[in-house]
Amino acid sequence: METIEYRTVDKSSWGEGPWQSEPDKKQWLDEETGLPCLIVRGPHGALCGYVGVPKAHPYYGKHYDHESIGVEVHWGLTFASHCAPAPTPESWERFKDRGRRAWGEAARYPKGDSAQFLRDRTKELESYEAYVAWSEAAKVCHKVCDGEDDDVWWLGFDCAHSGDYCPKMDFTKHWGDDAYRDQQFVEDECRKLAKQLKTAA
């Protein structure tokens, strides 16, 4: 699996910070364990980290809070799933339906989530090619090289908890002591998680 970085999020309104120069998604293969890793920026601007385990792993297919999973990572695991489904014309139609439903809500609440969704996803609502590119860059999924098995179970964590700074959310600017968990922090946590998962195999 090759290392790939994506930069797809408009962060112009977020103010200055390390997020401005960071990728919004990164995939790489952890050298020590051979496990695939992902970083994906979440909806509030915080980074989320993921490590994939193969079918033979004892944690494959298990919920993130299953009693058998004993790992330590930032605020604990909050995600477990296969890769997000690949974008299709049918999923784009459902996405556009969501956009059509958002118009009424956005008219009533111009600063609400629906209005923000319409502002953020204008290109993707208008163009299938833009929708496909955004889906690949924003979802928990990875690209593999020829001959590599892409069937992994992602176990992940997020950095949008108490004490974590989320740069897209204005109200977090008033919390004072929150810390933004930058790319290096999340990569280090992914490596720590990968090592624990490899030991459990």
pLDDT, average across residues 14-35: 96
pLDDT at residue 170 greater than cutoff 80: no
Q: What is the pLDDT of residue 171?
A: 55
Model confidence pLDDT, tens digit, residues 109-135:
998 999 989 999 999 999 999 999 999
Q: At what angle do helices 128-138 and 89-108 cross, to 10 degrees?
A: 90
Which residues are CB-contacts of 108 (< 8 A; sequence separation ≥ 6)?
Answer: none
Per-residue pLDDT, 177: 76
User: From CA 135, how far away is CA 115, in angstroms rounded?
Assistant: 20
β-strand pairing of 79-81 with 153-158 = antiparallel
- Long-range (24+ apart) CB contacts under 8 A made by 169-174 are 169/44, 169/45, 173/15
Of 28, 32, 53, the C-alpha closest to 40 is 28
The pLDDT of residue 174 is above 90? no
pTM value is: 0.93
* Residue 175 scores a pLDDT above 60: no
| pLDDT tens string 42-67 | 999 999 999 999 999 999 999 999 99
